[in-house]
Amino acid sequence: MKNLPRSPDAMDDTAHGYAHPDYAASLSEFGQPLFLPRSGGWLLRRDIAGTGLTDAMGPYPLFFCRDWPHLGEDLTALVPELVSVVTVIDPFADLTRSTLANAFDSVVPFKEHYVADLDRPPETFVRKSHQAHARRALQAVTVEVCDRPPDRLEDWLRLFANLSARHAISGVRAFSRRAFEMQLGLPGLVMFQASSGDNVVGLDLWFVQGDVAYGHLAAFSELGYQLHASYATKWTMLNYFRGTVRWVDLAGTSGIATPSSDGLAAFKRGWSTGTKPAYLCGRVLQPEAYEELTQREAQHEAGYFPAYRSGEFA
């Protein structure tokens, strides 16, 4: 493995990755960025179809803010403007369940994120079969950290199109060219590139914030899948971040509330030392409007919040 440059400053998370204002701005096609001045977080204000009303969601996939105890005050100040707010909280947020309960009406476990404690050497916790796959993959591909991620935009769009086609990704989770143009230039982004000869067969994107590296997205070509390039990038990633951050967040899977038994879950579990819960939090700011919107929906999924948007990400 070639020598790799070190990651960005891991100590200041106020202007890196998901916490950077330009991350919220990158999603402006899906909602108008709305700054929360007391807590320092961002929401996306959305029009509610067929009404003159709006609500808000946190930026996909996770919500971050600088001052959690003041989040409730920010939301209360939005009562005249929004029907409801929903977001998924950073699993590494420095807060208590009671802090969330003070800010939101509903706080429920959403997904278990697979995490790795890098105080431990990767060879002591990564599944032996994963290590074997990584060794073989590193004989077929070369992994390096991109010095200039924006220069890899076209490669990323090509690879992500393959990922989207494989998994029928749509909506905010599909992002857009403009979104990726902005995200690849954000401070804190670390991009691992897997190449076979002159061909870029995989790119693995991470955001470093404070003492955590968050897995953002990873995409591979068909050749990359054949060469198990994802094992090569994950093994390289763990060794690269060790000594720079304490934790790696491999994110969750499509399962809700508890880790699922699908292939992606098994893959992520093999790189992790445990899990941390990410909570889905919702608050009704205008109860009468919320009830009226909910009643107009003929069917909605039990427990979905906000109920009047049930099925929007199906």
Question: What count of Cα atoms within 13 Å lies in the side-chain half-sphere of residue 9?
Answer: 8
Q: Which residue in 152, 156, 174 sits closest to 165, CA to CA?
A: 174
- Which amino acid is located at 302 in the chain? A
Q: Is the pLDDT of residue 145 over 90?
A: yes
192 Cβ contact list (under 8 Å, min separation 6):
143, 144, 145, 146, 203, 204, 205, 206, 233, 236, 237, 240
- Residue with more model confidence, 311 or 17: 17
Please indicate, yes or no, whether residues 91 and 22 belong to a single structural domain of this protein.
yes
Please indicate, yes or no, whether residues 204 and 80 belong to a single structural domain of this protein.
no
Give the global pTM: 0.91
Least confident of 4-13, 99-108, 111-120, 156-165: 4-13
Tell me the CA distances in angstroms from 79 to 38, 56, 71, 99, 288, one per residue in order. 15, 11, 13, 19, 12
- Which amino acid is located at 93 in the chain? A
Q: Which residue in 216, 183, 211 sits closest to 20, CA to CA?
A: 183
Establish if 10 belongs to a structural domain: no
Give the model's pLDDT for residue 245: 97
Establish if 190 belongs to a structural domain: yes
Count: domains in the chain: 2
Please indicate, yes or no, whether residues 216 and 234 belong to a single structural domain of this protein.
yes
Give me the torsion for CA of 239, 201, 182, 81, rounded to 10°: -90
Please indicate, yes or no, whether residues 61 and 157 belong to a single structural domain of this protein.
no
Please indicate, yes or no, whether residues 177 and 297 belong to a single structural domain of this protein.
no
Please indicate, yes or no, whether residues 267 and 297 belong to a single structural domain of this protein.
no
Question: What count of Cα atoms within 13 Å lies in the side-chain half-sphere of residue 121?
Answer: 3
- Residue with more model confidence, 6 or 199: 199
Please indicate, yes or no, whether residues 206 and 252 belong to a single structural domain of this protein.
yes
Summarize the confidence of residues 234-262 as an average pLDDT.
Answer: 83
Please indicate, yes or no, whether residues 88 and 163 belong to a single structural domain of this protein.
no
Give the model's pLDDT for residue 298: 64
Neighbours of 176 (CB within 10 A): 15
Give the model's pLDDT for residue 144: 98
pLDDT in tens, 186-238: 999 999 999 999 999 999 999 999 999 999 999 999 999 999 999 999 999 99
77 Cβ contact list (under 8 Å, min separation 6):
38
Structure tokens given for 4 = 């790799």
CATH number at residue 221: 3.40.630.30
* Domain around 97: 17-110+278-309
Establish if 80 belongs to a structural domain: yes
Give the model's pLDDT for residue 13: 43
How far is CA 165 from its chain centroid?
Answer: 20
Please indicate, yes or no, whether residues 259 and 124 belong to a single structural domain of this protein.
yes
pLDDT in tens, 24-34: 999 999 999 99
Please indicate, yes or no, whether residues 42 and 176 belong to a single structural domain of this protein.
no
Establish if 11 belongs to a structural domain: no
